Amino acid sequence: AYSAQQVNITNCDREPIHIIGKAQEHGVIVVCDLNSFHVSQCSENIEDILGIPHANVLGLPLKQALSKKVAKSFKKKFRNDESLLPEKLKIGEQKFLCIPSISGDHLIIDVEPSGKSIDPIRFQEQLTKILTELDESESVNEMCQQAALLVKHLFDYDRIMIYKFDEEWNGEVVAEVKEPELESWLGLHYPATDIPKPAREIFMKQGVRIISDVHYKASPITPEISPLTGQPLDISNSELRAVSPIHIEYLQNMKVGASLTAAIVLNGELWGLVACHHYSPKFINYHQRQSCLFLTQVFSNKLALKTTKTFLENTAKSDEVRKKLVLQMTSIKNIADALYRFDPKFTDIIECSGGALVMDGEIYLAGVTPTRTEIKQLCDEILAEKEVYFSTKSLLSIYPKAKDYKNKASGILSVQIGEQDGNYIMWFRPEAKETVSWGGNPEKKAYVKDGVEYLTPRKSFERWTEKVAGVAKAWEEYDFEAVGTLRESIVHVLVKQQKDKIDSLN
């Protein structure tokens, strides 16, 4: 196993954050054996928070360690195979909430302050507000902005960001609501390494996570190894799981004091995050976190609707163009002429900066493109090896020669047409770097202390900028749909022309 000390920028994915073995300071992790309901492990801060000495609690029946009521409820529900729900716990004048989750043969109980309770009417109001205010806006970006505003209103963190992943798990801040004195991070990009795979996977399961105090002292869960299994305990379902020291460093370098992060899931995949920063410690209780979960679920649903709608709209738009192109092809016998000489051209069918038609040895160009020689080479050296459809957003990553024209064709989408080898239509997109802006102060210095470079979003942005050299905006599902149907139409016209030719000969 890797310890935190051995983890660096190159191997983030290997840090075992699910078995970190510590709790955040604001709550106690109590672990009990699901067979006997006796406490098997516990975080050492139990004395500070519940006033129970750690040594006394190990081995105790849960009903004595916490309360009869809590133990009875968990036991009953577990044995009846019902889902476990949080239970209230009162110790002296202090109120807590016991939030259960299951990890193998262990019941993990997060005991945390119940915080200011919201009355049911206000709670209902909140949920209604979420439902009504997250309506269908013009664009996904507007929807994100609305969601950020709502999160700001409900939970009042200093900075709320909606962070969207691309297909390689790099991210971009697509919406932001912040206190006026803070610099804006809207439009900043981050490399995938900033949120490693294990962290993303835990998010998919958990949905919402707070770090209540970035300067907290993590409390070790002891004994460290589960007496039930002889293995480190997986606490990925615990909401109190302590935070990777690397991520803590990252937050400290940003001067962040507390955070709230919530997953936005689209069609079963992590689409993005609601990422909130506060510049001092901040705790929001279980009910508020549930409201946040509700909010992201409503948002995800609307997002799914919106994506379908965007797909349909784009498909409809390109279909209009396709129909006109078909008319041109049937009235003008020369297919290449029909596709590139008139208005619309084949390049109007999807968003692109240029395109090329390669037909019967001729190359026809439209918009911004590599030279004819470069396209010829591309056909011989790359496309000839590929299937009917080929696409990449980074030609450079598979074809070094593309370096010379990355500002014209970093992204390429191509289809082969007709029976004959060597006939292609291709669409190009330039490197996206040129279209990406640095959201805040343009001074791009890494944070250096004692000769060591520290992790900061700004440093991340630089890493990202290096990474996206030669990478274009990604091709979307509806782009493939559009060129796919265009190809079918062309083949159809070609077949018909062949047939007419044969008919006329007979």
Contact residues for ligand BLA, defined by CB under 6 A: 7-9, 12, 15, 17, 161, 171, 173, 185, 190, 193-196, 199, 209, 211, 243-244, 246-247, 250, 259, 261, 273, 275, 455, 457, 460
Instruction: Give the residue among 464, 16, 8, 462 at the shortest CA–CA distance from 197.
Output: 16
CA distance 45 to 63: 19
Report helix, strand or coil for 413.
Answer: strand
CA distance 329 to 335: 6
CB of 220 to ligand BLA, least distance (A): 15
Closest to ligand BLA by CB, 148 vs 275, is 275
Token readout for 405 is 């024209």
Q: What is the dihedral of CA 53, 56, 59, 64, to 10 degrees?
A: -80
Closest to ligand BLA by CB, 10 vs 80, is 10
User: What is the CB neighbour count within 10 angstroms for residue 138?
Assistant: 8
Closest to ligand BLA by CB, 209 vs 406, is 209
CA distance 286 to 283: 10
CB of 443 to ligand BLA, least distance (A): 17
CB of 66 to ligand BLA, least distance (A): 26
**At 152, which amino acid appears?**
K
Token readout for 37 is 């309901």
CA distance 106 to 110: 13
Number of residue whose CB is nearest ligand BLA: 12
CB of 251 to ligand BLA, least distance (A): 8
CA distance 239 to 284: 12
Closest to ligand BLA by CB, 218 vs 358, is 218
294 within 8 A of 318, measured Cβ to Cβ? no
CB of 9 to ligand BLA, least distance (A): 5
Residues forming beta bridges with residue 154, ordered by sequence position? none
CB of 261 to ligand BLA, least distance (A): 4
CB of 144 to ligand BLA, least distance (A): 14
Closest to ligand BLA by CB, 223 vs 440, is 440
Token readout for 381 is 């050296």
CB of 17 to ligand BLA, least distance (A): 4
Closest to ligand BLA by CB, 124 vs 441, is 441
* Burial group, residue 10, by CB count within 10 angstroms (0-12, 13-18, 19+): exposed
CB of 50 to ligand BLA, least distance (A): 24
Measured CA distances, 431 to 173, 368, 393, 407, 409 (Å): 19, 12, 9, 5, 7
Closest to ligand BLA by CB, 163 vs 340, is 163
Closest to ligand BLA by CB, 37 vs 461, is 461
CA distance 373 to 363: 9
Instruction: Give the residue among 67, 10, 410, 451 at the shortest CA–CA distance from 246.
Output: 10
CB of 12 to ligand BLA, least distance (A): 3
Closest to ligand BLA by CB, 269 vs 421, is 269
180 within 8 A of 173, measured Cβ to Cβ? no
Location of structure tokens 């905006």: 473
Instruction: Sort residue 81 into left (φ over 0), alpha (ψ -120 to 50) or beta.
Output: left
Closest to ligand BLA by CB, 449 vs 501, is 449
CA distance 22 to 224: 9
Closest to ligand BLA by CB, 114 vs 236, is 236
Q: What angle do CA 241, 246, 250 make, to 5 degrees?
A: 105
Closest to ligand BLA by CB, 15 vs 87, is 15
Instruction: Give the residue among 304, 278, 275 at the shortest CA–CA distance from 163.
Output: 275
Closest to ligand BLA by CB, 186 vs 409, is 186
CB of 88 to ligand BLA, least distance (A): 26
24 within 8 A of 211, measured Cβ to Cβ? yes
CB of 61 to ligand BLA, least distance (A): 32
CB of 459 to ligand BLA, least distance (A): 8
Sign of the CA dihedral running 32, 36, 40, 43: positive
Location of structure tokens 């598979």: 398
CA distance 339 to 346: 5
CA distance 489 to 192: 39
